[in-house]
Amino acid sequence: HAHYATVLRAAAAGGARALGFDVFFDIPREKWVPDLDRQFAAAFQEVSASTPVIMGYDTLQLSAQLPRVYMLASMQGALGFTNLTFDDDGFARRQELQGRGREATESFATRLALLYLQAERAVMDPQRRALRLGSRTLPLDAEGFLRVHYWGPAGTFPTISMADVLAAAQKQDAAQLERWFRGKTVLIGTLDPTDRQPTPFYSAGGSQGQMMPGVEIHANVLATILEQRFLREVSPA
């Protein structure tokens, strides 16, 4: 928690435009180490006062009691679900941008896109064939999902090691932090093997295939929205 708190502060100090936190703390740690949740919640509150922070959460792992940071984020409208959308073969080619039902919660990438576009909320077409973010309209497929335009295989987006960020923060190397983060939307996530998924670039990794970290899939979703490089299905003819 202390390391993630340092990374949030470092990215904000480096001039990040917005931060997306794709690591879900599913239960409070106070019972075991009382200060951990407080440290991270304090960092979120401090950073979000000047740099918007979207906290990702997993709807499948929601518990009755969550760490305080999620209550703070909820009050600020700074939550986005990180559940990925998979096709029948287990590949991530599309992404749900807005949940269904009365609450119509928004995805991690949708929340970050709204910040970037300075739009207040996402409005779904009644037939779920398009989603409007401010003046921008996103075409959706027949099931109401966005087809993700992947920029390339895993590792296409620039990645900075958390250890390097912590080292720069410890040295108070403001110039390096600015080179990394100035004006960027920064996604903070993990390269945990259990969070890697197959995408249309799976075979680009050779005979063994190459799985993509979930945080980079979200980066591709966000880039698809912001760059407006939409994929459209053509007829068989």
Per-residue pLDDT of the chain (237 residues), as tens digits, is 999 999 999 999 999 999 999 999 988 888 898 888 999 999 999 999 999 999 999 988 877 788 999 999 999 999 999 999 999 999 999 999 999 876 679 999 999 999 999 998 899 988 889 999 998 999 999 899 999 999 999 999 999 999 999 999 999 999 999 999 999 999 999 988 888 999 999 876 554 558 999 999 999 999 999 999 999 888 889
Strand extents, DSSP E, the chain: 18-21, 53-57, 79-81, 94-95, 122-124, 130-133, 136-139, 146-147, 185-188, 196-197, 212-213
d(CA 211, CA 172): 35
27 DSSP assignment:
S
Q: What share of the chain is helix, strand, coil (3-state, %, to 5)?
A: 35, 15, 50
Cα separation values, 173 from 128, 184, 227, Å:
47, 18, 32
Tokens of 160: 């900075």
DSSP 98: B
Indicate the pairing of strand 146-147 with strand 94-95. Answer: antiparallel
Record the tokens describing residue 212, joined without a space: 């993509």
| Distance, CA of 81 to CA of 185 (rounded, Å) | 17
Alpha carbons 69 and 45: distance in angstroms, whole number: 8
**Is the separation of the CB atoms in 201 and 213 below 8 Å?**
no
